[in-house]
Amino acid sequence: MEVYNKTFRNTPNSELQTPNSPNAHRVVITGLGMISSIGVGKEAFWENCLRGTSGIRPIHGFDVSPYRSRLGGQLPEIDFKAFIKPANLRRMDRIGKIVVSAVRVAIDDSDLNLEEEDSSRVGISIGTGLGSSDTVDQFFRSLLKEGPLGAAPLLFQTAVPNAITSHCAIEYGIKGVNITFSHKESSTEMAMTFAYHLLKEGRADVIFAGGGDELSEPLYHVYSMLGALSPGKGKGAEGMRPFDRDRNGIVLGEGSGILVLETLEHAKKRGAKIYAEMAGVGLSGSTDGLLSYDLRGDSMAGAMSLAAKDLRTVDHISAAANSTPDLDRAETLAIKKVFRERAKEISVSSLKSMLGEFDGSGGIRACALALSLYQGMILPTIGTKNLDPQCDLNVVLGQSKKKEIRSAILNGCSNGGSNISLWFKRHS
């Protein structure tokens, strides 16, 4: 081992020589980057979170007349040149630009100087449900129209799901861990889980973790054809209203959120501002069907119990609830199973009520939760008027609320049954 390490030119850090000492490090959040429909960057985003501003509007940019739905949580026009060098913008498609910009916002927020870091100990872990869905569609249409010989190579190289992660690695010289997850609505929660574990084992100093998704026309089509979009087949009004008795499906959103996750040791060494500590993860699977959520909430309850090592300190849950009849009811069951008589003391919010639902939403939701812990503020769930008696939780409606949060859980649940809970603690 001794001799071997002499030739280990690119990873001189002695930490790597002790791979058998798990759980040696604490993991903290030191930077937040978000490109969202309710604000780009921390200040604008947080102000709108506190205010309960909705990012959901009539879809623009493509024709929704063939569908029963017309709403979406689309991003405003963004001047990506503010985040990315113009020469590099050319090789990125829209979702690439969105995620690379979110990483830029996170880097700036964290005051990290990447030039001073050992680039092989800086990593990136991204989750995306459908990545470059628009580019894939453009490529496929070029193939149908022009035939195989006319298919555009530049589109293909950005069409792969990990292109967004590669763009980030190339843009910022991130040479350590590099991974992309795509598992429906738990994609980003998994990306954060993996980053957390590697940092805990000391296999990296800093990992950018999170992800995102774009709202494209083909995606809207697919969701609509699969019957996932509000108002569904019912007669009710279209909209996001998690836990409401009249909820009837999702409104599709888009955006990206990135956490700078760092070992506590490394953060302290560089005097970083610490928003919160990431202190546990829980993963479990339900098997109720390919397009079903965890119907009884057992699996979600398992994930929460595994994640939160001290359930008594949990004061807040950022719910996965997405305004579908099944998930919101099941998450309620799960929270009650885990917390029993304490369930009603726990403030529950769904940020999806403002952003809409999208597979890669976990990153933005985690950014908001970190700020909630840091500032002692609980965000409202908007759009919800009449709490469903089957969702009888302490759902914070209307306005944000001041409350010291000792620790909080972020839930991510996919249809098909991957359930992930992340546990965050206030850092003191």
Partner 1 sequence: MRKRVVITGLGVVSAVGNNLPEFWNSLTEGKDGTKEITVFDPSAYRTKIAAEVSDLAPEAHFSKKEIRRLSRCDQFGLIAFREAWKSAGLDQDSQDKEKGGVVLGAGSGGILSVERYFRDFYQGRKKPFPSLLISYSLATTTDHIAIEADLKGPRTTTATVCSSSSASMGVAFEMIQMGLAEVMVTGGSDSLCEVSYSGFNSLKLVDPESCKPFDKRRQGLVIGEGAGILILEELEHALKRNAPIHAEFLGYGICADAYHLTAPEPNGEGVERVIKIALVHAGVSSEEIDTINAHGTATTFNDIAETRGIKRVFEERAKEIPISGIKSMVGHCLGSAGGIEAVATVMTLETGIIPPTIHYKVPDPFCDLNYTPNHSIKKDVRIAISNSFAFGGNNVCLVFGKFSSE
- Minimum distance between the CB of residue 215 and partner 1, rounded to whole angstroms? 15
Q: What is the DSSP string of 36-103?
A: ETTEESHHHHHHHHHHT----EE--SS--TTSS--EEBPPPP--GGGTS-HHHHTT--HHHHHHHHHH
| Residue 75 CB neighbour total at 10 angstroms | 19
CB 402 within 8 A of CB 168: no
- Minimum distance between the CB of residue 403 and partner 1, rounded to whole angstroms? 31
Helix, strand, or coil (residue 321)? coil
| Residue 54 CB neighbour total at 10 angstroms | 20
- Minimum distance between the CB of residue 16 and partner 1, rounded to whole angstroms? 5
- Minimum distance between the CB of residue 92 and partner 1, rounded to whole angstroms? 9
Cβ distance to partner 1 smaller for residue 4 or 341? 4
Cβ distance to partner 1 smaller for residue 369 or 420? 420
- Minimum distance between the CB of residue 348 and partner 1, rounded to whole angstroms? 24
Return the structure tokens found at 241. Answer: 């209203």
Cβ distance to partner 1 smaller for residue 156 or 400? 156
Cβ distance to partner 1 smaller for residue 33 or 302? 302
Q: Are strands 206-213 and 122-127 parallel, antiparallel or unpaired?
A: parallel
Cβ distance to partner 1 smaller for residue 303 or 379? 303
- Minimum distance between the CB of residue 144 and partner 1, rounded to whole angstroms? 6
DSSP 336: H
Cβ distance to partner 1 smaller for residue 31 or 412? 412
Cβ distance to partner 1 smaller for residue 10 or 428? 10
Q: How far is 55 from 368, CA to CA, in rounded Å? A: 15
- Minimum distance between the CB of residue 72 and partner 1, rounded to whole angstroms? 18
- Minimum distance between the CB of residue 381 and partner 1, rounded to whole angstroms? 27
Cβ distance to partner 1 smaller for residue 16 or 311? 16
Sign of CA dihedral 236, 240, 241, 243: positive
- Scanning 111-237, the segments in alpha helix (DSSP H) are 133-146, 153-159, 163-172, 187-200, 217-225
* Helix, strand, coil tally for the chain in percent (to 5): 40, 20, 40
- Minimum distance between the CB of residue 41 and partner 1, rounded to whole angstroms? 25
DSSP 236: S
CB 205 within 8 A of CB 12: no
Phi/psi for 350 (5° steps) reads -120, 110
Q: How far is 258 from 70, CA to CA, in rounded Å? A: 29
Cβ distance to partner 1 smaller for residue 38 or 209? 209
